[in-house]
Structure 1
Amino acid sequence: MTRELSDSRLTNHIAEGCGEILKGVRTSGLLRGRALGDAGDVLAQEWIARVLAQHRPEDGFLSEEATDNPARLKKDRVWIVDPLDGTKEFSTGRQDWAIHIALVINGIPEHAAVGMPDLGVTFKSSDVRAVTGPLSKRFVVSRNRPPAVAQYIAQEMGFETKGIGSAGAKAMHVLLGDFDGYIHSGGQYEWDQAAPVGVARAAGLHCSRLDGSPITFNNEDTFVPDLVICRPEIKDEVLEHAAAYAAAHGGY
């Protein structure tokens, strides 16, 4: 395979290949706990780096598991990845971990894949659409640190909230219709959001900051303070309540 492998296919192949690597590391049963999570992070990162060095050597690269190279800031094309999002979930046998692979072009994740190997599925921006139909009246939030703003919005809208693991898993469950939105505050990084946002946008979901401003990627500061991914028919109400919360509390 050379340059003839399209960006879309390469994105999808990397996510699927990472899934096979990580399942193999865990299925062996030879590692447990933190050692298992660390091995998964390192092996998946090394494989992705080698694949991109061979197939897209001129592109920029940003990963949770690699030292940041500022040269990416001068490139229009940058791969933003998290080889294993939800390391704790992965290492403790839970299913809500994910693989994030995104090719960001001029700040926008144009090609993205979120792999959820334990569910046997890879969500791809090249072939995805969100579930429509009746609302679930539920928001998904961080399992460890559910944000107060999400609780406020849910209460105002008569919704419930539920916490699960990986950011990618949360976003994909919105796409599947299990939840109507994913609301996050308290900070993430670009590798947490790029692939989920890319897939969610392609599926027709609304994606923005909590103040409604667009999310762009490949910034010098990779910290992103908040995020909302939701069904488009409720986005105005979600953002209105988020604004009311921020006005009352001096922020999110």
Structure 2
Amino acid sequence: MSICSLIVNEINLFLPEILSKRNTRILKEDDSYVTEGDILCEKIVKDFIREKFPDYFLVSEESPEENVINSKKDKVIILDPIDGTENFTSGLKEWGVAICVYENGVHNESMLALPELNCYLKTGDIFEKFESRICGISSSLTKEDILKLEPGFEYRIIGCAVYNMYNVVTGSFFSFENPKGAKVWDIIPGLNLALENGLSVTVNNTQYHGELLEPNQKYIFKIQNR
């Protein structure tokens, strides 16, 4: 079984406890929430990696002090323990876990997991592909940004990159983009799964080829079905 699958299985074992902590909100400096559920989920993965994969180093949203150093290691696991925390803490099921594994700077495997929706997509999966005219956009857009969107498309704002990435890779969205920028743990699993499945992927307006991205900056991106 893949590293990503083993990590998600471990998270699912503790899912009832994680869900029980969705109302324990803490407001961060950037005005976003973190919950005890986020922190518990990261701890579960950290403990699991230390026990089962001690030669791997973790880059994670909730451990900023370790990320730059760990991203330089030969074996790296990139994690967003709960993506879409605003959804998670509001009782919505559209939140996810993003996991990506790199070895020697080369992508090895990725997974997008939506535990409450029981939807999972990982490297190597074969799935039914849909055709859609729906475009997913980031919830970071302002009202003024939304009014400038290109006409002729259906647009959706869900507030969870994992959910949006899952849908664009499977074809339920025609495209998904964030013109304001997101951190590596939000996007790199979805970017690589999109590449694997033949989608067009740009990062910072340049074609993306699967390279490991630095954890200390944001990246604008667009994924589109051809």
Give the TM-score category using the shorter length: 0.7 to 0.9
Q: Structure 2 vs 1, CA of residues 129 and 209 (structure 1 numbering), >3 Å: closer, same or farther?
A: farther
Q: How far off its partner does 1:200 sit?
A: 2.3
Alignment of 1:207-226 (within 5 A): 207-209=201-203, 211-214=205-208, 216-219=211-214, 221-226=215-220
Alignment of 1:19-34 (within 5 A): 19-26=12-19, 28=20, 32=23, 34=25
| Structure with higher helix content | 1
Provide Cα deviations, 1:213-233, integer angstroms capped at 9, x if missing partner.
3263252x53233011111x2
Alignment of 1:83-102 (within 5 A): 83-102=81-100
* Sequence identity percentage: 23
8 Å CA contact 1:78–1:218 kept in 2: the answer is no
Alignment of 1:232-251 (within 5 A): 233=226
Q: Could you tell me how far apart the structure 2 residues matched to 1:111 and 1:173 are?
A: 18
Instruction: Give the aligned length.
Output: 218
8 Å CA contact 2:83–2:96 kept in 1: the answer is yes
8 Å CA contact 1:141–1:147 kept in 2: the answer is no
Larger radius of gyration: 1
Q: Could you tell me how far apart the structure 1 residues matched to 2:58 and 2:213 are?
A: 9
Partner of 2:30: none
Alignment of 1:28-107 (within 5 A): 28=20, 32=23, 34=25, 38-66=35-63, 67-107=65-105
Q: How far off its partner does 1:31 sit?
A: 6.0
8 Å CA contact 2:134–2:175 kept in 1: the answer is yes
Q: What is the TM-score of this pair, normalised by structure 1? A: 0.75
Q: Could you tell me how far apart the structure 1 residues matched to 2:145 and 2:203 are?
A: 13
Q: Match of 1:42, SS?
A: helix
Q: Could you tell me how far apart the structure 1 residues matched to 2:106 and 2:75 are?
A: 9
Partner of 2:200: 206
Name stretches of at least 5 consecutive residues in structure 2 with no aligned partner.
Answer: 27-32
- The answer to whether 1:229 aligns with 2:226 is no
Q: Structure 2 vs 1, CA of residues 129 and 147 (structure 1 numbering), >3 Å: closer, same or farther?
A: farther
Alignment of 1:171-210 (within 5 A): 171-209=165-203
Q: Match of 1:223, SS?
A: coil
Q: What is the TM-score of this pair, normalised by structure 2? A: 0.83
Q: 1:216 is aligned with what amino acid? A: E
- The answer to whether 1:137 aligns with 2:133 is yes
Q: 1:22 is aligned with what amino acid? A: L
Q: Structure 2 vs 1, CA of residues 197 and 146 (structure 1 numbering), >3 Å: closer, same or farther?
A: farther
Alignment of 1:108-147 (within 5 A): 108-129=106-127, 131-132=129-130, 135-145=131-141
Q: How far off its partner does 1:22 sit?
A: 3.5
Q: 1:68 is aligned with what amino acid? A: E
Q: Structure 2 vs 1, CA of residues 62 and 90 (structure 1 numbering), >3 Å: closer, same or farther?
A: same
Q: Structure 2 vs 1, CA of residues 55 and 41 (structure 1 numbering), >3 Å: closer, same or farther?
A: same
| Structure with higher strand content | 2
Q: Match of 2:9, SS?
A: helix
Q: Could you tell me how far apart the structure 1 residues matched to 2:163 and 2:12 are?
A: 14
Runs of 4+ aligned structure 1 residues displaced above 4 Å come to 146-153
Task: Tell which deviates more after alignment, 16-25 or 49-58.
Answer: 16-25
Q: Match of 1:95, SS?
A: coil
Q: 1:21 is aligned with what amino acid? A: F
